[in-house]
Amino acid sequence: MSRLFLGLDSSTQSLTAVVIDLTSREIVYEDSVGFDETFPSYGTQNGVFPHQDPRVVHTPPLIWVEALDVLFEKMSDAGARLSEVLAVSGSGQQHGSVYLNDEAAKALEGLDPSRSLKENLEGVFSRQTSPVWMDSSTTRECSEICEELGGLGATAEATGSTTFERFTGPQIRKFFKTEPAAYEDTNHIALVSSFMASLMAGRIAPIDHGDGAGMNLMDIRTRRWHAGALEATAPGLEGRLPSLAESWTCIGPVSPYFAERYELNANAKALVWSGDNPNSVVGLGLIREGMVAISLGTSDTYFGTMKDCRFDPRGEGHVFVSPTGDYVTLICFKNGSLAREKVKDSFGLDWDGFSRALSTAPPGNDGKVMLPYFEPEIVPNVFEPGVRRIGLEEDDISGNCRAVVEAQMISMRIHAKWMGVSTTKIYATGGASGNRDILQVMADVQGCPVYRFETTNSAALGAALRAAHGYLLESGNEMPWDEVVSGFADPVSGSAINPAPDAREIYAELIRKYEACETEVTGA
Ligand code: ADP
Ligand code: XUL
């Protein structure tokens, strides 16, 4: 008998659904709604508002709300068997925050199925836009909070990361300082993940430990709100935050809105959501320590599972909580897919053309180097965007296509050293992991095989698997994680992309050169 579970992923550029059948171990449905193309009236580009200051990056939360209706409509039209779904969970882009007024709780509880979600919720926002993970405009607030908590090391020990511009605490502090009246009108602050979970459950949802760890507000060891961090961030903050919860917590049944409007099983359980990276940990089956994945989504992330809490002495990495209860260590590079797209578009190429150009240039690119800071960068910390080319002409098509990918892979290699993991294989996911030529560079630079998965939607798949795990636990039939992910999170057999025999030597040389260029430019 089928056992269906729904996973949703509210990411930077799209909302995705994956339905799995836990009995047959199959993905039975997979589809996405892209924000820019589905809702052009908002004027977003790649899911965010263009702004004259490249450091300010916001998205209107109503676009996520509208997307949920459109996606459910699509699922219903496509016969995704919503009436058989046993539980729903989800994944959200990390760090982004949603600000709700005193109308919100009532509106969520009484969602009227004869009106759209947007019509139901238009009046509930105390801030019309949400700062998202690409925002880097809170440097001052980061310093203020970090100093209050005793500096870089103490902040990382307390909250899992030192303060980062995109993290929710510094963003909340900026909101409180620059728009005090709107902060005063805010009754609830949600993450993208907990906001979307609130829509599904029809009530204000808790924040799970995985995504809570990306706020600079949660004590990474006790997994409770950190009193000192709350105080350093904004007055009256605790009353505005929901409770924290384990990632397998069941909030209640799904809101009747979805049952009545789309025939979702009225008894389906709504579970808490988590961040996209913690969800991908499950979607890729990174259950054991030492397993490493690289996600090539809008951002590029490098992450793995840890049993114990270990911190990056340089302060570039993060410790989050895994949906399994262990820890996730992660580094986020902002100039991911959008930087690759900028190079591709500057030569009028499609992805096939980009791949052909990239493979025309030799590994090592004859020593040509690009520092690809199209946007301000998170790792290494680059405040002013700017692309630098060393020995590389701006009109050299194949040289630039190879240089941007080599730069990204080398940067990951350099900045992941602190994790102390001897990487014997890497799992690749995210939109760009379907590109074999990009993964070949990854294998060559990392010096180990790279494995691909059938779906590039590992976050949505992880959410569906979390829904299954939480449902079984709640109904007294707990299934060990190894068993939950088995058959789903297995790399496509025969998909290993191995490093070329001469890659080690070529890249040893280029990594040295790149590191020297990076140090010169960033002064680090
Ligand atoms: P997110 O979840 O962060 O919204 P995705 O994981 O869906 O992002 O990845 C979207 C990105 O994937 C797009 O911005 C695009 O640049 C990239 N992408 C899609 N197809 C390819 C391809 N064939 N080669 C390289 N990049 C690709
Ligand atoms: C992780 C990060 C991004 C976002 C969007 O710290 O900022 O990976 O989660 O994907």
Rounded-to-integer distance, Cα 135 and Cα 451, Å: 32
- 516's enclosing H/E stretch is helix 503-522
User: Could you tell me which residues come within 8 angstroms of residue 200 by beta carbon, excluding any fewer than 6 positions away?
Assistant: 8, 88, 90, 254, 255, 258, 270
Verify whether ligand 1 is closer than 6 Å to residue 430 (CB atom): yes
Give the pLDDT confidence of 222-253 residue by residue, as tens digits: 999 999 999 999 999 999 999 999 999 999 99
If one residue of 274, 301, 379 were mutated to test the ligand 2 pocket, choosing by the most ligand atoms within 8 A of its CB, it would be 301
Give the pair of three-digit tokens for residue 67.
């997307």
Geometric angle at alpha carbon 32, from 43 and 17, rounded to 5°:
130
Rounded-to-integer distance, Cα 20 and Cα 171, Å: 36
Q: Is 5 strand, coil or helix?
A: strand
User: Could you tell me which residues come within 8 angstroms of residue 116 by beta carbon, excluding any fewer than 6 positions away?
Assistant: 66, 69
Rounded-to-integer distance, Cα 227 and Cα 237, Å: 10
Name the residue with the closest Cα to ligand 2, atom 7.
133
Cα of 46 from ligand 1 centre, angstroms: 10
Using CA atoms, how far residue 157 sits from 241, 286, 313, 485, in Å, is 22, 24, 10, 31
Cα of 296 from ligand 1 centre, angstroms: 7
Verify whether ligand 2 is closer than 6 Å to residue 332 (CB atom): yes
Cα of 83 from ligand 1 centre, angstroms: 31
Verify whether ligand 1 is closer than 6 Å to residue 274 (CB atom): no
If one residue of 273, 277, 333, 433 were mutated to test the ligand 2 pocket, choosing by the most ligand atoms within 8 A of its CB, it would be 277
Question: In 3D, which of 303, 517, 496 has the Cα closest to residue 407?
Answer: 517
Atom index in ligand 1 nearest the CA of residue 298 equals 3
Rounded-to-integer distance, Cα 270 and Cα 89, Å: 6
Determine how β-strand 207-208 pairs with β-strand 244-245.
Answer: parallel
Name the residue with the closest Cα to ligand 1, atom 7.
431
Rounded-to-integer distance, Cα 47 and Cα 112, Å: 27
Task: Spell out the per-residue pLDDT of the chain, length 524, in tens.
Answer: 999 999 999 999 999 999 999 999 999 999 999 999 999 999 999 999 999 999 999 999 999 999 999 999 999 999 999 999 999 999 999 999 999 999 999 999 999 999 999 999 999 999 999 999 999 999 999 999 999 999 999 999 999 999 999 999 999 999 999 999 999 999 999 999 999 999 999 999 999 999 999 999 999 999 999 999 999 999 999 999 999 999 999 999 999 999 999 999 999 999 999 999 999 999 999 988 878 999 999 999 999 888 888 888 888 999 999 999 999 999 999 999 999 999 999 999 999 999 999 999 999 999 999 999 999 999 999 988 999 999 999 999 999 999 999 999 999 999 998 887 778 899 999 999 999 999 999 999 999 999 998 888 999 999 999 999 999 999 999 999 999 999 998 888 888 999 999 999 999 999 999 999 999 988 86
CA atoms within 13 A on the CB side of 307: 3
Give the pair of three-digit tokens for residue 109.
């509880």
Verify whether ligand 1 is closer than 6 Å to residue 96 (CB atom): no
